Amino acid sequence: MISGMTDFETDILVAGAGLNGLAVALLLAEVGATVSVVDPLPENQLADPDRDWRTTAIAQGSMRILDRLGVWQKDWLGGSITEIRIINKNSPLYLHYPGHWLNEGALGCVVPNAALWRSKFERASASPRINLVLGTAIDAANINGSAVHAKLGDGGVVRARLLVGADGRASPTRKRAGIAERKSDYGQISIVTTAAHEFSHRGSAHERFLPSGPFAILPLPDANDDAAPWAHRSSVVWTEATSNARRMLELERKDFDHELASRFGDQFGEVSSVGPIGSFPLALVAAEKMIDQRLALVGDAARTIHPIAGQGFNLGLRDSAELAIRIGERLELGLDPGSPDLLGAYQSARLMDVAGLVAATDSLNRLFSNSLPGLTLIRSLGLAAVDKAPPIKRLFMKHAMGLAGQAAGLAGSDPV
Ligand SMILES: Cc1cc2nc3c(=O)[nH]c(=O)nc-3n(C[C@H](O)[C@H](O)[C@H](O)COP(=O)(O)OP(=O)(O)OC[C@H]3O[C@@H](n4cnc5c(N)ncnc54)[C@H](O)[C@@H]3O)c2cc1C
């Protein structure tokens, strides 16, 4: 429900109503907790598609979690990824994941962020266990005995057994708790736009590693508007060194489209951009720890990774699922959902998945985003070698789909 009342008690207080804040609230409500979610932005801004019109490549494991929460919409399957091609520049050697290779349904699905947020918000608004307090921030949080006392911007006070920080890359919750962070600027900006193209993508996603950054093409459903001569659409995440990106962003649309087409390739015929063009400066931000006294961090508040593998939200969703499962077990036994041993177990359980993806995305970007002589051939041969080694190839894909290790258990076994 959406509440105007800001003086109350709840099991769990969540800072942030972004994609991860709403996901953790839904998962916690599912295991029986009462949850309040606080965000300084009002509903109309959070829901505004122009505020975040990126798309998210949702891994199969995440699709299953969202489906269980009643958030998954069948028509999103129009953005199903049925094959992936990973290419070094324009090399003829590439890594290829064909459709249904793992018999796990689609490899993933591309969903507009605004639609994903709206579906979660509607589900959360309808839940009797979730209290949404939008348009006011958490200004202070102090531990008082076995509770967190949070002061809101509008003067309200919330008492909870645990505070969950889901307040994004700059996380005021993380900063307030004095948790140190490792920050490394990539010197890159991701340009995000929608491409209209002549031929259907047939569910094909492409990641082309270019010297100044990765260029990703992600399938979207066809559009029935007249924004372009062609109905076929793909989402583009085009990462460039900062100075190049700024130059691209200042170009007239026809010149921008010329640069876009030269990187896009001709696999889908002619191409042009439609709709807004946005930019996201990239940095790795990793919290030194995911927990503190009566505090757990999830999603970008815990770490923000390079979008090279389209895994940031998927990783955050696995944080939330892990935390919710542990809290559910405690609540069932009438135990404290914010105890140090529960939080310690949560952090340990997330260590491998998080450390692995932070390292993998960081090193992939460093390996491929440069034009060092000699490396081009080695990179192309490396991709081709993985392509010819089914066990390694299968392992990579299981991880990318969120179906490896612990994540497999959280996601369940039925493909969407
Ligand atoms: C170009 C690009 C492409 C990407 N593509 C993919 C992809 O394909 N697949 C994928 O899995 N991931 C992808 N990601 C990553 C993904 O977008 C992020 O991981 C995800 O959006 C983070 O969500 P979040 O809820 O943790 O943080 P945010 O979206 O930053 O939300 C944080 C919320 O906290 C609120 N807040 C701020 N201060 C306070 C306060 N004091 N109190 C309470 N609330 C507060 C904010 O208003 C906001 O609503 C991509 C990222 C980029 C940059």
Q: SS3 for the chain, per residue?
A: CECCCCCEEEEEEEECCCHHHHHHHHHHHHCCCCEEEEECCCHHHHCCCCCCCCEEEEEHHHHHHHHHCCCCCHHHHHHEECEEEEEECCCCCEEEECCCCCCCCCCEEEEEHHHHHHHHHHHHHHCCCEEEEECCCEEEEEEECCEEEEEECCCCEEEEEEEEECCCCCCHHHHHCCCCEEEEEEEEEEEEEEEEECCCCCCEEEEEEECCEEEEEEEECCCCCCCCCCCEEEEEEEEEEHHHHHHHHCCCHHHHHHHHHHHHCCCCCCEEEEEEEEEEEEEEEEECCCEECCEEECHHHCEECCHHHCCHHHHHHHHHHHHHHHHHHHHHCCCCCCCHHHHHHHHHHHHHHHHHHHHHHHHHHHHHCCCCCCHHHHHHHHHHHHHCCHHHHHHHHHHHCCCCHHHHHHHCCCCC
Residue 286 to residues 299, 405, 415, Cα–Cα distance (Å): 11, 22, 32
Residue 408 has pLDDT above 60, yes or no: no
pLDDT digits (tens, 9 = 90+) for 37-85: 999 999 999 998 888 889 999 998 999 999 999 999 999 999 999 888 8
**CB-based pocket (< 6 A), ligand 1:** 15-21, 38-41, 54, 56-57, 137-138, 166-169, 172, 190, 192, 237, 280, 299-301, 307, 310-314, 316
Closest by Cα among 141, 159, 127, 114 to 6: 159
Residue 332 CA to ligand 1 center (angstroms) comes to: 31
Structure tokens at 304: 């923000």
Q: Which atom of ligand 1 is nearest to the CA of 239?
A: 1
State which ligand 1 atom lies nearest to the alpha carbon of 317. 11
Q: Which of 51, 76, 300 to mutate to test the pocket of ligand 1 (most atoms within 8 A of CB)?
A: 300
Confidence label for 170 from pLDDT (cuts 50, 70 and 90): very high
What is the atom index within ligand 1 of the atom nearest the CA of 62?
11
- Count of CB atoms situated within 10 Å of the CB of 391: 7
Read off the pLDDT band of 387 (50, 70, 90): low
- CA of 290 relative to ligand 1 center, distance in Å: 16
Which tokens is 262 given? 């030269």
Question: Which residue's alpha carbon is at the smallest distance from atom 53 of ligand 1?
Answer: 280
Q: One-letter amino acid identity for 185?
A: D
Mean pLDDT of the region 230-251: 96
Please compute the mean of the pLDDT values over residues 151-159 and round it to a whole number. 92
The CATH classification of domain 8-183+285-411, taken from the options 3.40.190.10, 3.50.50.60, 3.40.50.970, 3.40.50.10800: 3.50.50.60
Distance 80 CA to ligand 1 centre (A): 22
| Gap from CA of 414 to ligand 1 centroid (Å) | 27
pLDDT digits (tens, 9 = 90+) for 251-307: 999 999 999 999 999 999 999 999 999 999 999 999 999 999 999 999 999 999 999
Q: Which two tokens stand for residue 74?
A: 């069948």
Cα 110 to averaged position of ligand 1 atoms, centre (Å): 16
CA of 300 to the centre of ligand 1 (A): 6
Checking if the pLDDT of 233 tops 80, the result is yes
Of 24, 37, 39, the one to substitute when testing ligand 1's pocket (max ligand atoms within 8 A of C-beta) is 39
Mean pLDDT of the chain, nearest integer:
88
**Domain locations in the chain as residue ranges:** 8-183+285-411
Sign of CA dihedral 328, 332, 338, 343: negative
* Spacing, Cα 19 to ligand 1 middle (Å): 6
Q: 18 CA to middle of ligand 1, Å?
A: 6
pLDDT over 80 at 375, yes or no: no
